[in-house]
Amino acid sequence: MFLAAAGTLALTVPAGTVAQETDLTAPEGIDPQVLGATTLPARGHDPMAAIDVAEDPVLSLSERAAPMAAFRDAISSAVARNPSIDEALANLSVADAQRDEARAGLFPDVTIGFQGRQTIDREFSNDPDNVLERSRSLSRYDATASVEQAILDFGATSARIVAATHRMKSAALEIDATAERVALAAVAAWYDVFAYRALVSLSESFLANQQKALASIQDRIDQGVNAPGDLARVESSIALTGTGLARYRRQLANAEARYTELIGAPPPQGLMRAPAPDMPAMSREMAEYLARTSPAVEAAQERARAAYHDSRATKADRLPRVVAGVDAGQYGIFRDREGEDYDVRARVSVQQRFFAGTFARADADVARADAAQARALGLEQEAVREALIAWADMDALEDQLAALSENYIASRRTRDVLAERFFYARGSLFDVLQAEDNYFAVAGNYIQALTERDSARYVLLARTGRLLDALAIPTQESAE
């Protein structure tokens, strides 16, 4: 969800093996169970005192992250075990075999045959009309061989070889594009689990505080300090918090299921934020250039080139084809006079097909090549648009997080000030409850903004084709 918000990416993805078991959670000396609990800090008696980010349960989320090595291992294993990668590798093997098939047109076509017959039973009369049948031997075995080579096809074979080569390049690039999609989906699953666990924990702590406040108000009602109608306001707030908590729990269950499907193991307790990737400064122009050269775009361009050369081959098929060949045969090879009956013939033929639909087929392939080129151009424009959106999101989400951080601090101080006033009977109960509600809402927004800001970094890397390098996942190009 959060990665989708940062980069318009759907999070429904296929499954993936986890590599060796590594510590993905807490640094040394910190209890993972503590890291998994995000609560609202208790009210302080000095509301205007400086707030230590490291001590604040919400703000401190931005200060901790999982080890980069462990995070990379988890994402790499998700990529390695995903069936989509196996499918892409199989498609590469298919393209390789098709290129070999096209190259076979450069070599002679050799055919060797063996024919034999053995008469089981026969009987003829002396009728002169069957003299030919009577003269046939009871058995005969012949061997034949034929070598045929196209010596002129107006470039059809060469065009098919070039098309197959481009198709193979496209299949190799598609492996990297698929790996990037799977890696980004795994990163999304990681962040979803982290964010929803934090929101569930935050909601549970806030709900517990509200229930304590409800009991406190009941005591004040019993003492005659508050009117019985004051309970309704608190009960309404509790019901609203419970609704949000139920929603977060459902979304957390979905996120944990996606994580398990991709990574291959349930998310550990105390899962921390993913570490920030190494990202050098990137200008708008650089983001646009990298998007145009991303694996998905280049794969589409290679497919368009393959379709163009396929159309060239089909056009050449409309022209005559000159074929040279040699035919040889040896007859009666198991007779006493073996080797005496044979012949060797050379031949040259010019073949031209008529009324076989070759012209219509060529027109269809030309149109198919135009469609592939248009599709590649559209994909390139879409990739550039998404990369520029991701690039713009980086600054916007950074500013949003900074503003929410200030808002969080101000909301915490406001809550503490109003609570302190109420403690000394100089404030309204409803002001305190409203401040608590606002503080809780801002804390939740801060967690979501933090997750979106972090996710946007990985989205930008994916949109510019650099995610695999950032995660140290080997690409098809580096493997070759």
> Which class is domain 2-8+22-99+158-308+359-479?
mainly alpha
Give the range among 14-28, 39-53, 206-220 with minimum mean pLDDT. Answer: 14-28
**pTM metric for this prediction:** 0.81
**What's the confidence (pLDDT) of residue 18?**
34
Q: Which residue has the higher pLDDT, 229 or 167?
A: 167
Please check the confidence at residue 219 and state whether its pLDDT lies above 90. Answer: no
Q: Cα separations (Å) of 116 from 328, 335, 337?
A: 16, 12, 17
Q: What is the spatial distance between Cα 375 and Cα 135, in angstroms, rounded to a whole number?
A: 69
Amino acid residing at 462: A
- Is the CB of residue 459 less than 8 Å from the CB of residue 393? yes
246-258 confidence digits (pLDDT tens): 999 999 999 999 9
Annotated domain spans of the chain:
2-8+22-99+158-308+359-479, 110-153+320-357
Closest by Cα among 138, 142, 92 to 118? 138
Give the range among 30-44, 137-151, 319-333, 458-472 with minimum mean pLDDT. Answer: 30-44
Residue 447 makes CB contacts below 8 A (sequence gap 6+) with 38, 58, 61, 195, 198, 199, 202
3-class SS of residue 149: strand
Closest by Cα among 259, 275, 279, 280 to 72? 275
A 10 A CB-CB count for 328 gives 15
Q: What is the spatial distance between Cα 383 and Cα 178, in angstroms, rounded to a whole number?
A: 15
- Is the CB of residue 66 less than 8 Å from the CB of residue 271? yes
Element (H, E) at 71: helix 68-80
What is the rounded end-to-end Cα distance, in angstroms, of the chain?
36
Please check the confidence at residue 467 and state whether its pLDDT lies above 70. Answer: yes
- pLDDT interval class at 27 (50, 70, 90): very low
Q: What is the spatial distance between Cα 444 and Cα 449, in angstroms, rounded to a whole number?
A: 9
Please check the confidence at residue 131 and state whether its pLDDT lies above 90. Answer: no
* Angle at CA of residue 355, ends 349 and 359, nearest 5°: 95
